[in-house]
Amino acid sequence: MQLFEGNWIPVSTSDNRARGLFARHYSFRHKGKAIKPSTITAPGEHLVLLTQNCDALFVWVAERIRHDNQTGINCAVFRNESKLLASELIKEADALAWVKWPHERLFTYVDGEKINRFNDRHKRNRPAGYCFLKAGWRYILDNNGEKLRSSKGLYLLEMYPEWA
């Protein structure tokens, strides 16, 4: 196992520690039922990262064919249970993605409803994707300047190397 400089360690898609963190991520459930994957990524090329204490998870996936017409490298999962600043972990994960896939656009989906419930519980008023925004990511906007949402109502955010 190669140790990167920083907080992340690359692991296998079937790493049980990574799957344990993934099980606590909001995307783990689909229509109220837990997903039971043997791995935590969609088909394609991937980079699965765990912090050294196994308390944060970041999953990058590069799929050849996407049904949402998005291009680039997808942050499929980010879960931070550590005391490390989420935006700093994201910046490190971005840099590692660009080592593997130089100059590629990075993108992710954020469930605003799940984030709003979290904010309500913790008495915060932060926008969906706040930690990504703090790391330099931007919302994708439609032709009217509104935040673009997927067919499932998820916000889309993106990051380019030149923004880093």
Assess if residue 2 is contained within a domain: no
The domain total for the chain is 1
Assess if residue 120 is contained within a domain: yes
CATH code assigned at 148: 3.40.630.30
Q: Are 79 and 114 in contact (CB under 8 A)?
A: no
Paired sense of beta strands 73-80 and 106-110, if any: parallel
Containing structural domain, residue 13: 8-163
The per-residue pLDDT for 119 is 45
Assess if residue 3 is contained within a domain: no
All residues at 6 or more sequence positions from 143 whose CB lies less than 8 Å from its CB, including other chains: none
Tokens of 163: 């923004």
Amino acid at 71: T
Q: pLDDT tens track of the chain, all 164 residues?
A: 454 668 999 988 878 777 767 665 555 554 444 445 555 666 789 999 999 898 999 999 998 888 888 999 999 989 898 999 999 999 999 999 999 999 999 999 998 776 545 545 555 677 888 999 999 999 999 999 999 999 888 999 999 999 98
Q: Which pTM does this prediction carry?
A: 0.82
